[in-house]
Amino acid sequence: MSNRTVAAVSTPLAVGGIGVVRISGDDAVNIAAKVFKSVSGRDISEMKGYTACFGRVFDSSGEFDEAVLTVFRAPKSYTGEDVAEISCHGGVYLVKRLLRAVLDNGAYPAGAGEFTKRAFLNGKISLTQAEAVGDMLKVQSDYAARAALSLHDGVLFKEISEVKNKLVEISGHLCAWVDYPDEEIEEISLDEISDTLYMAKDRLSKLIGSFDSGKMMREGVDTAIVGRPNAGKSTLMNLMAGAQRSIVTQIEGTTRDVVEEVVRLGDLILNVADTAGLRETDDVVEKIGVELARKKMEQSQLVLAVFDSSDTLNDFEYSLIDELKDRTAVAIINKIDLEQKIDVDYLKQHFKYVVQISANSKDSLEALTETITEAMGFNFADPNAAMLANERQKKCADTALTACSQAIECLESGFTLDAVTVCITDAIECLGELTGESAAESVIDEVFSKFCVGK
Amino acid sequence: MNLYQKNGIKGYEAQEYDVAVIGAGHAGIEAALACARLGVKTVIFTMSLDAIGNMPCNPSIGGTAKGHLVREIDALGGEMGKAADATFIQSRMLNKGKGPAVHSLRVQADRERYHVYMKRALERQENLDVKQAEIIDILTDDGKIEAVVTHLGAVHKVKAAIICSGTFLKGKIFVGDINYMSGPDGMHAAMRLSDELEKNGIKLRRFKTGTPARVHRRSIDFSVLEEQPGDEPVVPFSFQTKEKLENRSTCFVAYTNEKTHELIRENMHRSAMYSGEIEGVGPRYCPSIEDKVRRFADKPRHQIFVEPMGLETEEIYLQGISTSLPEDVQIDMYRTIKGLEHVELMRNAYAIEYDCCDPLDLKASLEFKAVKGLFGAGQFNGTSGYEEAAAQGLIAGINAAHLILGKAPFILDRASSYIGTLIDDLVTKGCSDPYRMMTSRSEYRLILRQDNADERLTPKGHEIGLISDEIFEDFLKKQELKNSEIERLEKTSVSPSEKLNEMLVSRGTAPMTTGAKLADLIRRPQISYDDLTEFDVSRPEIPSDVAQQAEIAIKYEGYIKKQLAQVEQMRKMEQKLLPENIDYASITGLRLEAREKLQRVRPLNIGQASRISGVSPADISVLLIYLESHKL
């Protein structure tokens, strides 16, 4: 059943201008005809590839939206199969209703990445392309778009190759030394091995770190707003949300006392959780809210700690400040339009990033954006630097990093070099998987090109 | 069968066999013995009975990774290890101190006695006929081997044939600008079989190898050479060798110098290597001295090992200085070397070029995909080295016998052995120059050690029928002994004492404050099993090899476990079988190169497919998706 017709919503399920349901497979156009009626009375099933048609979508309860149907005919479509794309008005409800209608008329729900998988199987795109496309679709800001492009340019490939080649060099030397014990092969110094391994470890760690920031770029930074009650958390939330109202989503079903919004702040996408005010309380319901707030704070990648500048710091805030000392956090000193009582110096000593604003004023947005961007370090990250793009690549890098660490451990604890070599080979193997080369071959080539060995 | 008549030869119907082995070198010997021992009626043909088990190049068995192969051959029930133990004159364990994974046994063999031993082993073998004849043709019917034909017209019907032709097929020797058709050591080349193989769809290509000169012992001044004695005690190759072995000879080391290199550079144009006449591809790991001097111009000297050819000969082999320079230059060149100023050549150095197959045309059983019942082994398959040859001979022999007995092919995977790695490399990646085994070719080095070859392979050898019940019993006892020693070391504690701490500190490790298990002390890389002898009061009397295995198992436990986890993962991939009739050309998601390679190699499973050069991880994903979506 590989060629069954599948459908899915292919735009993010969010409030937006339009939402697209894509149907792919032999029956794509026929199914589209069962949910879409042309205004001009055109016969949908006769539509040629690369043509579009205006009409209305309907289900068993009747018409529910205006829409545009675009038809692509195999093999000239994204998936290489017949494809029908119905664009209706955005919004979770309408798009879901349309998808439901399509599925009711014989389409199967598409699995995650199924369109790309089909495109790939039909020879429309290569795996690396498939991976990059997947990321491209997720790109939500210019910043992320730039990072996704650098994959195509081979920056990642170059970085991985460089690390790998260094490892191949020492591995080749070790192998020559082992495989040709009677030749006069200079013994490789343990320092040299160690230096190379630390270098590899360092560069891989950076890459892996960049993956996390890359992911944040694409998927947003999980952000928690914390602070005592009435510090101005909700006002801050509104300020940020108001900045880019059109892409802000109110996520349904959020737990009581934690309100989540997706906001855009400059180049950043923040998944912001506005939490209950932190304080000791005996109220059972409020207690639950406070616990949730703490949990959110612990799980978030960025903490925005809001302080009321018109009051002095209380014990609760002192302990909060202490809790945040190893976190990526910004101290937001709110209500600067009021009389200042807060110890600003204390906050500046304990937070690397401090911004003083008045959440009521839209003018504060610029300073806020600047400080948060700086805190996330994206200001300093070169968007054109090598970056791991997806989980598969990250897994390879992770495994390579672990292998390097094991090699170091093995070397430093005084094990024989055969065990060290095995760890290094593992690392090369993983990196080779990323660049598509075989480890064993590259090491052997190294042996024969660098060393004069043989009877 | 119609009477054979071809190229002026009138055939006659000769004796029928199950298996014919063509060639009695290191591959042929193991192949023939394996077949005969498994009960199939076998004949082995050789150009000369006096060249059975000949060593036309260096008189040595083993070495890095090659020593592993010999141990594995022995563990499976092959002959090479026993022959080496019986005829060696000097033994060394290489790579001591570099870790147990790469310990490698290497011996100098007595070339003549090795030949005598092997000839007799063949002669005494039940079910095996030994014949001096050149095989000039194979007869096939419907893609299946039917018969082999000798140069005198004997047509032997066979069910299987194993080609172990070494360097004989259209062998051509090069010395400077002189070249002629010849096999090694004065034997004639096999000129006719190649064409007949090609007519049967076996593609052939030219490979090349070289050998240095043999010189007279009395013309060498040993007083100025470095001696390189054997190691004591001698570790045997064969797990069944119980008697104590002794070194009986010694080797020496000499060095080339700037004068040597200058002479070579001046005469480079006269080397056959650079005349453009040699079309064969030479081995990278075995460069001629011309090659070494040219490619590594800044190296001030190259080592030469001066190795006796045997106890009853004055011939000396000069390892490390093979050449295809003209004979006069050879003499001058060797004489530039300190200690060899008056050296007298007995056999000149030469390069030899020969026909061999492309191993990508072979299945993992070493049977040709194109001709059922036709197998290849040894140099004919594109490898180099006696040990590599013997390993393939053994596997080809077992599989030829299995074919006749109706049993499934015997295939060793990469995690089981260097033999498995060797064959997988050959049939999956092919080779573009003569293939030599190296420890770096195995990703499972820590578990594929020479010390545990029996643990890895003897149960398999027993199952096949090449290891007798009696030997297997011995093996099981050894395993039990090892396991109970590991258990004892894990359980037994020692308390800290001044003396023990003194020893620990002297080895550069921390003193103990509380009691510790013996195994935990052994886990310290700096502390050996022997270091603990006097502190381990309950230690039983066990053979040293058993103790060593117990020690390695404990010390390297973490790394061994890690490798075993990788093995498991690899075996999972090997279990995803690719159907035999899959049409890779029709899978459009595959890149063109991958389609072609997969169509050519026709891997058995996803694991093998992933090792084909030119098949990327992306292609493997396509295959996996393809298998999934077609529910294959």
What is the secondary structure of A345-378 as a DSSP string? HHHHHH-SEEEE--TT-TTHHHHHHHHHHHHTTT
Instruction: Work out the percent of chain A whose per-residue pLDDT is above 90.
Output: 23
B338 pLDDT more than 90: yes
What residues of chain B, 588 to 617, have a C-beta less than 8 Å from chain A?
588-589, 591, 611, 613, 616-617
B293 and B151 together in one domain: no
Q: What is the mean pLDDT of chain B?
A: 94
- Choice between B398 and A455, residue whose per-residue pLDDT is larger: B398
Same domain, B530 and B585: no
Give a yes or no: residue B362 inside a domain.
yes
Token couple for B399:
């599989």
Regarding beta strands B214-216 and B345-347, do their DSSP bridges make them parallel or antiparallel, or are they unpaired?
Answer: antiparallel
What is the token pair recorded at A300?
Answer: 């978030």
In a domain, residue B92? The reply is no
Same domain, B286 and B402: no
Q: Which residues of B are less than 8 Å from A418 in CB distance?
A: 98-102, 445-446
Among the partner-chain residues B104, B302, B525, the one whose CB lies closest to the CB of A414 is B525
In-domain check, residue B3:
no
> Are B379 and B286 within 8 A, CB to CB?
no
Q: Is the pLDDT of residue A150 over 60?
A: no
The shortest CB-CB distance from A452 to any of B100, B296, B589 is to B296
CA distance linking residue B42 with residue B30, whole number of Å: 12
Confidence of residue A91 (pLDDT cuts 50, 70, 90): low
In this structure, are B286 and B399 located in the same domain? no
Residue of chain B whose alpha carbon sits nearest to that of A171? B440
Alpha-carbon span B10 to B24, nearest angstrom: 25
pLDDT of res. B402: 98
Do residues B231 and B336 both lie within one domain?
yes
Rounded to the nearest 5°, which phi and psi values hold at B568?
-60, -40
- Condensed to tens digits (0 to 9), the pLDDT of residues A217-263 reads 666 788 888 888 888 887 888 788 764 333 333 343 333 445 667 77
Indicate the DSSP class of residue B428. Answer: I
Structural domains in chain B (count): 4
Query: What pLDDT sits at residue A17?
Result: 66
* Model-level ipTM above the cut of 0.95: no
- Domain shared by B237 and B278, yes or no: yes
- A409, A422, A438: which to substitute to probe chain B, counting the most B Cβ within 10 Å? A422
Residue of B nearest to A183 (CA): B303
d(CA A102, CA A26): 14
| Distance between A258 CA and the closest CA of chain B, angstroms | 42
Q: Is A433 touching B (CB cutoff 8 A)?
A: yes
* A409 min Cα distance to partner chain B (Å): 12
Please answer yes or no on whether B617 and A454 come within 8 Å at the CB atom.
Answer: no
Non-local (6+) Cβ contacts of A133 within 8 A are: A116, A125
Tell me which amino acid residue B505 is: V
| B20, β-bridge pairs | B43, B161
pLDDT 10s digits, A153-203: 467 777 888 899 999 999 989 888 888 887 778 888 899 999 999 999 999
Structure tokens at A194: 């160690």
Q: Is residue B73 part of a domain?
A: no
**pLDDT at B380 (0 to 100):** 98
Over 90: is that where the pLDDT of B197 sits? yes
B440 neighbourhood in chain A, CB within 8 Å: 171, 175, 178-179, 425, 440, 443-444, 447
SS3 B553: helix
Tens digits of residue pLDDT in A125-148: 665 565 555 454 444 344 444 444
How far is A383 from chain B, CA to nearest CA, in Å? 26
What confidence category does residue A315 fall into, taking pLDDT thresholds of 50, 70 and 90? confident
B359 and B341 housed in the same domain: no
* DSSP character at residue B3: P
- Give helix B386-405 / helix B66-76 axis angle, nearest 10°: 30
Average pLDDT over every residue of B441-468: 96
Which of A393-397, B125-129, B313-317 shows the lowest per-residue confidence on average (mean pLDDT)?
Answer: A393-397
Is B325 found in the same domain as B366? Answer: no
Residue B458 placed within a domain: no
DSSP B142: S
pLDDT band at B216 (very low <50, low <70, confident <90, very high): very high
* Prior bond of A229 cis (ω within 30°): no
> Mean pLDDT across the stretch B270-299?
83
Q: Give me the residue spans of the domains in chain A.
A: 6-125, 155-212+387-450, 219-375
Chain A positions touching B64 (Cβ under 8 A) are 178-181
Residue B142 and residue B133: Cα distance in Å, rounded? 26
pLDDT in tens, B505-542: 999 999 999 999 999 999 999 999 999 999 999 999 99
Geometric angle at alpha carbon B510, from B505 and B514, rounded to 5°: 115
At residue B374's C-alpha, the angle toward residues B371 and B378, to 5°, is: 130
B556 CB neighbours in chain A (<8 A) are 419
How many CA atoms are closer than 13 Å to the CA of B516, on its beta-carbon side?
A: 19
How far A105 CA lies from chain B's nearest CA (Å)?
A: 23
Give the gap in angstroms from C-alpha A106 to the nearest C-alpha of chain B. Answer: 20
Whole-number Å distance between alpha carbons of B500 and B532: 8
CATH class of A6-125: alpha beta
Rounded to whole angstroms, the Cα distance separating B53 from B26 reads: 6
Compute the radius of gyration of chain A from its Cα atoms.
28
Q: Which of B102, B295, B319 sits opposite A455 (nearest CB)?
A: B319
**Does one domain contain both B245 and B391?**
no
What's B255's domain CATH number? Answer: 2.40.30.260
pLDDT in tens, B359-368: 999 999 999 9
Assess whether B360 and B337 both reside in one domain: no
User: Is there a single domain that holds both residue B411 and residue B512?
Assistant: no
B23: domain CATH number is 3.50.50.60
- Contact between B93 and B449 (Cβ < 8 Å): no
Residue B114: which of B174, B54, B74 has the closest Cα?
Answer: B54
Q: Look at residue A62 and tell me whether its pLDDT is greater than 90.
A: no
Q: What angle do CA B399, B402, B408 make, to 5 degrees?
A: 90
Task: Quote the CA–CA distance of A83 and B564 in Å, as a whole number.
Answer: 47
pLDDT score at A262: 72
DSSP B426: I
Interatomic CA distance for residues A434 and A151, integer angstroms: 12
What CA–CA distance (Å, rounded) separates B316 from A288? 90
**Domain A155-212+387-450, CATH homologous superfamily name and number:** tRNA modification GTPase MnmE domain 2 (1.20.120.430)
Q: Chain B residue closest to A116 (CA)? A: B589
Residue A180 vs residue B37, higher pLDDT: B37
Domain extent at residue B526: 489-557
Q: Which of B233, B420, B264 is nearest to B330 (CA)?
A: B264
Inside any domain, residue B512 = yes
Within a domain: residue B455?
Answer: no
The answer to whether B197 touches B190, Cβ cutoff 8 Å, is no
Is the CB of B563 inside 8 Å of chain A's CB atoms?
yes
Please state the rounded mean pLDDT for residues B386-410.
98
Q: Which residue has the tokens 């030749």?
A: A183
The enclosing H or E element of A193 equals helix A190-219
Q: Are residues B347 and B360 in the same domain?
A: no
Tell me the DSSP string of B432-472: SS-B---GGG-TTTTTS-STTHHHHHHHHHHHHTSS-HHHH
Q: Which CATH class is domain A219-375?
A: alpha beta
- Consecutive H or E run containing A237: helix A233-243
Domain contains B427: yes
Range with the poorest average pLDDT among A297-311, A365-379, B579-593 = A365-379
In this prediction, residue A2 carries a pLDDT of 46
